[in-house]
Structure 1
């Protein structure tokens, strides 16, 4: 659940529900964005599980939650629950790159219009959003370097916005840029950071807030480079 974007309050509730319905009366659980520590006081044993990757797949989070509640209600056994978790981790479909690209273009154009942009900037914004997201996606999947992907993608979006305005295929550089970077904005980490802080998970909340801040900073730096040197 942590690997796929769940907030810590949901993770803690799910782990506690599973443990208690599996016969552990007093589980001790501590989770962060980088690992889970769980102990069973009666057995004087503990286990640490590191979290080495994080992405956004809320469908997996929902399926884990559904299975945990089915286990709580006695609809499935512990062994069936474990098998279901293994299967959904492998077989849960993820949206293809082309569907993500189309969604990025739609988000870019519609939000540019909502923020007061002109319809004459729609084509430029579509190109900026689509190519920027493609750059972000490819760097994340090929090089796996955090924050560099946001920086280069936003830099490319700024270059495209400047180019389209210079060749008179766009009007407002600012609106094209704003629309283009919308698919890159770390909305889920920001939301989870606020939820974690409100739920008392201050360590995870601050970690997620810092992650979101670094992503936003990388996006801002990419745009700033374009406006400074072009």
Structure 2
């Protein structure tokens, strides 16, 4: 009989932890994850709950007399559709429109769902965006097609190498290296004119814009550990992109 209260708490705790895990893996800010977990815990009757979120892990405790739960975050990506879906579940819990079992089932479905857009569409969007960035950085009209080709190749290379090698740094370095090599080749063949504009526009899909934004927002919200770690990750990404391009300019 002493185990009944503990067992009754397990489902709400799992709901809060799963919601935080999905949001953190999908690119949500640290303070947003903590706030959502707290609101869901209050709605599920877990009074006095505390959560500590970093980019690599979540610690959650539903009360002073209960043991803390830990979830390790290994992979992180950007999928704001999942973040919005979890926030919607949190609001429905707050309004009393669903219970813990229903919320847990919906969160499981969100976790199992695939990326919102297929791979070919991501590559196509990165290609077109690269061409438009090339024009935005005052490249000529003849540089649009080289920008599209370099951006598409670079983003495709990033997805491929990140699938083969789990270290993101090497995938980003290789992608920027491919962008630089193809850019030099196209300019040498007189397909494009402004090499620097082509390369700058082509690496823009690789730039960690969301990561930098989240790092600044976490720092402004007082989450110093998360803000500094996200900032360091963004710095490594920028360094990898710059190093790949620098190798090309050094060789040619």
1:95 and 2:111 are equivalent in the alignment? no
Match of 2:8 in 1: none
1:59 and 2:118 are equivalent in the alignment? no
Match of 1:169 in 2: 191
Secondary structure of the 2:24 match is coil
Structure 1 pair 36–223 and aligned structure 2 pair: CA distance change class (3 A): same
Q: Which one is further off, 75-84 or 36-45? A: 36-45
Match of 1:188 in 2: 210
Structure 2 counterpart of 1:76, from 98, 109, 121: 98
Structure 1 counterpart of 2:68, from 40, 46, 50: 46
Q: Distance between the aligned counterparts of 1:126 and 1:29, measured in 2?
A: 44
1:136 and 2:158 are equivalent in the alignment? yes
Match of 2:12 in 1: none
Q: Distance between the aligned counterparts of 1:41 and 1:180, measured in 2?
A: 50
Q: Distance between the aligned counterparts of 1:145 and 1:25, measured in 2?
A: 40
What TM-score, normalized to structure 2? 0.89
Is 1:131–1:157's contact at 8 Å kept on the other side of the alignment? yes
Match of 1:106 in 2: 128
The alpha-carbon deviation at position 95 of structure 1 amounts to 1.1
Match of 1:205 in 2: 227
Is 2:79–2:115's contact at 8 Å kept on the other side of the alignment? no
Q: Of the two structures, which has the highest relative contact order with CA contacts closer than 8 Å and spacing of 6 or more?
A: 1
Q: Distance between the aligned counterparts of 1:40 and 1:72, measured in 2?
A: 17
Q: Distance between the aligned counterparts of 1:94 and 1:41, measured in 2?
A: 36
* Structure 1: gaps (5+ residues): none
Q: Which one is further off, 200-209 or 91-100? A: 91-100
Q: Distance between the aligned counterparts of 2:39 and 2:131, measured in 1?
A: 43
Q: Distance between the aligned counterparts of 1:22 and 1:92, measured in 2?
A: 28
Q: Which one is further off, 88-97 or 105-114? A: 88-97
Secondary structure of the 2:204 match is helix
Match of 1:127 in 2: 149
Secondary structure of the 1:29 match is strand
Q: Distance between the aligned counterparts of 1:106 and 1:201, measured in 2?
A: 36
Is 1:60–1:92's contact at 8 Å kept on the other side of the alignment? no
Output one character per residue of 1:90-136: Cα deviation in whole Å (capped at 9) or x when no partner: 13552111000110011101111111111111111111000111100
Q: Distance between the aligned counterparts of 1:164 and 1:115, measured in 2?
A: 18
What TM-score, normalized to structure 1? 0.97
Moved >4 Å (runs of 4+) = none
The alpha-carbon deviation at position 226 of structure 1 amounts to 0.3
Q: Distance between the aligned counterparts of 2:234 and 2:128, measured in 1?
A: 23
Structure 1 counterpart of 2:179, from 127, 148, 157: 157
* Structure 2: gaps (5+ residues): 1-22
